[in-house]
Amino acid sequence: MTKTLRSPEIAEVESKMDSNTQVGPDTDSSSDELRRARLARGRVRLARVRSSRSRGQGVRAARRGRRQITVDRRDAVAARNIQLQERIHNMPEDSLRDLMFQLCQRNPSLVFDVLEESSRAQGGGHHSPARVQGQPDWCTCSYCREMPTQVERVCCGQTEQNCFSRLRDFDIVVLDELILHVARAYRQEIFAIQDDDDYNRANRHAGYRQYTLWQHGHLGAGHRRPIPSCCVWKIRDKYPNAFGQYRGYVPGRLG
CA–CA distances in Å: residue 221 to residues 22, 63, 191, 207: 78, 32, 12, 17
Are residues 97 and 75 part of one domain?
no
Are residues 169 and 64 part of one domain?
no
Are residues 106 and 169 part of one domain?
no
249 part of a folded domain: yes
Q: How far apart are CA 154 and CA 229, in angstroms?
A: 6
Burial of 115 (0-12, 13-18, 19+ CB in 10 A): exposed
Q: Which residues are within 8 A (CB) of 252 and not within 5 positions of it... i.e. 6 or more apart?
A: 222, 223, 224
Classify the C-alpha dihedral 111-116-118-119 as positive or negative.
positive
pLDDT tens per residue across span 111-123: 555 655 555 555 5
Q: How far apart are CA 162 and CA 156, in angstroms?
A: 9
Are residues 227 and 173 part of one domain?
yes
Are residues 76 and 100 part of one domain?
no
pLDDT at 178 over 60: yes
Q: How far apart are CA 138 and CA 154, in angstroms?
A: 7
Whole-model pTM?
0.51
pLDDT at 132: 45
Q: How far apart are CA 242 and CA 202, in angstroms?
A: 14
Are residues 166 and 54 part of one domain?
no
Are residues 75 and 114 part of one domain?
no
Structural domain span for residue 104: 91-120
20 part of a folded domain: no
30 part of a folded domain: no
Are residues 255 and 156 part of one domain?
yes
113 part of a folded domain: yes
34 part of a folded domain: no
231 part of a folded domain: yes
**Maximal CA-CA distance, the chain:** 113
pLDDT tens per residue across span 194-212: 888 899 999 999 999 999 9
170 part of a folded domain: yes
Q: In Å, how far from its chain's centre is CA 109?
A: 30
- 76 or 143, which is more confident: 143
Q: Which residues are within 8 A (CB) of 92 and not within 5 positions of it... i.e. 6 or more apart?
A: none
What integer is the mean pLDDT of 83-88?
Answer: 86
pLDDT tens per residue across span 229-238: 999 999 999 9
Q: How many domains does the chain have?
A: 3
Are residues 85 and 162 part of one domain?
no
Are residues 176 and 147 part of one domain?
yes
Q: Which residues are within 8 A (CB) of 165 and not within 5 positions of it... i.e. 6 or more apart?
A: 141, 143, 156, 228, 230, 231, 233, 234
Are residues 144 and 63 part of one domain?
no
Find the helix or strand (DSSP H, E) in which 93 lies. Answer: helix 93-106
pLDDT tens per residue across span 131-164: 345 689 999 999 999 999 999 999 999 999 899 9
